[in-house]
Chains A and B, each alone.
Chain A
Amino acid sequence: MSGDILLEIKGLRATAGKTEILKGLDLVVRRGETHAIMGPNGAGKSTLSQVLAGHPGYTITEGAILLNGKNLLEMEPEIRSREGLFVAFQYPVEIPGLANNYFLRTALNEHRKHKGLSELDGGAFLKLVREKMKLVHMDPALISRSLNDGFSGGQKKRNEVLQMLLLEPELALLDETDSGLDIDALRDCAEGVNTLRSPERGFVVVTHYQRLLDYIQPDFVHVLYKGRIIHSGGKELALELEEKGYEWLTAAIQ
């Protein structure tokens, strides 16, 4: 299946209220590829993540998003997830009172049901989740705590990656997973992502900084600016952006 188109975004335009944020965005991600999206503040990076996840605060005015050839925009957020999309959020929500393990098991079992697999019982789930937690060096005690409640920035992001490891998406988008992370947490999160990389899966890594891309090496780097991808290149582009900033690319657009 390697090389098939996994995600196709065509001429996507999206508004929040009266403001148009995405203005004709195109992106194709094939199986086995990792794409990085970089760009200055306000370019629309987070909007892209939210639109993919199905956030109700955005209206799609034009364009299409296909996941595995299926119209993503017609799917409810939970169906997108079960169909193999995962968005790791920049600001994971805290839900006091909801036990992390209960949440994770419920999510995993919804996915398993969707795939026609049997649900995992408590014991089998615990074994699996402990194994995955080790991969991101996550404190085992956090499994029985309330979801992200009082977690540090690093613990929250590790928890996002843990969810990804459990749900094994075909296409994962990481929205500034590196923001607010120390080097250890950054490396743990990146390693978590790297263990999932395979010829069947695709990744989109949205980031401000080249640093994350030292750990998760992309095949392609795109520059998002004013709601469109204005430039694409290989992984060396990230280094170039780190050195030169965005102005040499954005000046022509102004």
Chain B
Amino acid sequence: MSAPGWLTESRAQGASEAARLGMERKGDEEWFYTSPKELLPETLPLAPDKIRQIVEDQALPDARQILVFVGGVYMPELSRVVPDPAGVVVRNLASAIETHPSGISGSLGLSDLPDAPLLALNRERWTDGLFLHVAAGQELSGFVQVLEIGSGTSWLRHLVVLGEGAVASLVETHVSPGTGVTSSHTVTEAHLPKAAKLVHVRLKAHSAGGHHYGAVVSRLQAGSRLETRLYAFGGKVAREDFHVSLDGPEAFASLHGLVKTQGEEKADISIKLRHASPDCQSEQVFKALADGKSQANFHGTVYVDRDAQRTAARQSNKNILLSRDASVNSRPQLEILADDVKCSHGSATGRLDEKALQFLRSRGLSQESARKLLVHAFAGEMLLPLPEGALRERIDALLGGG
């Protein structure tokens, strides 16, 4: 079956935008520490014999259903599919375009901001992804897991379209096992109409050859709520864009991120959060731990439009340097045009508290175990929003290891 016209058009637009912008971006403040090109390396496919074991290891036992993608390809035989309750659609995007075309054509790619090269490239090239729809007033119990296994270069787009007042939770886990070079591009686009609520978790656990571009793109209508939590571990080069726009009054967006880098890894977080409507609230809480010779960068901007009176926006970025050669760059930014707002931002970067280390050792803890405890003390609050369970345990283990 040939692609519908709107999709051909959408891909062509993405392609021309990407071509217009180019992947070098010299002089682009948005790509100061990393160029899009670094996220487009020569890659290799993963040995297929490993896949089944990885799926077994990474599947979260408490997920209501699991969609598995390998190298951008949906693997129904590895996924755990359950029948959709009435008013709910959970399936891969490529097939949903045929089964639910109207729900998709009016949404897909429409939240993308201009001047975002890898977002545009994703719009051109995506092969598949998740389509999640919950009808107005319904709550999808539990959470849907999307497991992405990096292999070669992959392009996924997850589309979440909620009805008014609908509630859903999505957990993405990304891995790139093995030693090969991989590049995963994942854009999650969420349309949240009036009073809808989405809880979104993205866990990235990449190996040294993994490259990852992730984006969360969302527009929030009146009274809707987005909670997105990033837990980013590993990967040679990783970049996460958050483009969130509070379009209706009394919407709320909460963006949290915990990043840990080591070796020669580089991780960028870039946030564009727009208050376009009055009486909205937003919070950004990002923390990074940088070890080895790694680099963790944070660039977060809050825009408050002229009409967005009574905005409350809070932004916090705290970082710990675990070694002498690690580096952190933090750029919190506020651009406020409205006059009646409560906005705060703060940034702090330091080392593990020597006094605390010394104290813990004086109680018999080895240097290593004292450091581990302090790392957990710093990062622990980022895990609190997660319910107890396999996901939290996995993140806890990733924090502790090395």
Contact A95 B377 (CB under 8 A): yes
Asked if A122 is an interface residue, CB under 8 A from chain B, the answer is no
Contact A98 B374 (CB under 8 A): yes
- Note all chain B residues with C-beta closer than 8 A to A78: 361-367, 370
Contact of A107 among B365, B374, B379, B380 (CB under 8 A): B365
- Note all chain B residues with C-beta closer than 8 A to A92: 359
Contact A93 B369 (CB under 8 A): no
Contact of B361 among A81, A96, A167 (CB under 8 A): A81
Residue of B nearest to A148 (CB): B359
Asked if A123 is an interface residue, CB under 8 A from chain B, the answer is no
Q: What string of 1s and 0s marks CB contacts (under 8 Å) between A132-176 and chain B?
A: 000000000000001000000000000000010001000000000
Tally of B interface residues using CB under 8 Å: 23
Question: A-B pairs with CB below 8 Å: how many?
Answer: 72
How far, in whole Å, are A194 and B173 apart by their CA atoms in the complex? 54
Contact A93 B355 (CB under 8 A): yes
Asked if A225 is an interface residue, CB under 8 A from chain B, the answer is no
Would you call the interface of chain B mostly helix, strand, loop, or mixed?
Answer: helix
Residue of B nearest to A98 (CB): B377
- Which stretch from A29-37, A51-59, A213-221 is at the chain B interface? A51-59
Q: What string of 1s and 0s marks CB contacts (under 8 Å) between B13-34 and chain A?
A: 0000000000000000000000
Asked if B381 is an interface residue, CB under 8 A from chain A, the answer is yes
Asked if A203 is an interface residue, CB under 8 A from chain B, the answer is no
Q: What string of 1s and 0s marks CB contacts (under 8 Å) between B65-102 and chain A?
A: 00000000000000000000000000000000000000
Known: A53-B362, A110-B365, A146-B377. 4 other contacts (CB 8 A): A81-B362, A97-B377, A103-B360, A110-B366
CB-defined A-B contacts under 8 Å, sample of 20: A56-B358, A76-B367, A77-B362, A78-B365, A82-B364, A93-B353, A93-B355, A93-B359, A96-B377, A97-B376, A97-B379, A97-B381, A98-B374, A103-B360, A103-B373, A106-B369, A106-B373, A107-B365, A110-B366, A114-B364
Interfacial residues, chain B to chain A (CB-CB below 8 A): 353, 355-356, 358-367, 369-370, 373-374, 376-381
Interfacial residues, chain A to chain B (CB-CB below 8 A): 53-56, 76-78, 80-82, 87, 89, 92-93, 95-98, 102-103, 106-107, 110-111, 114, 146, 163, 167
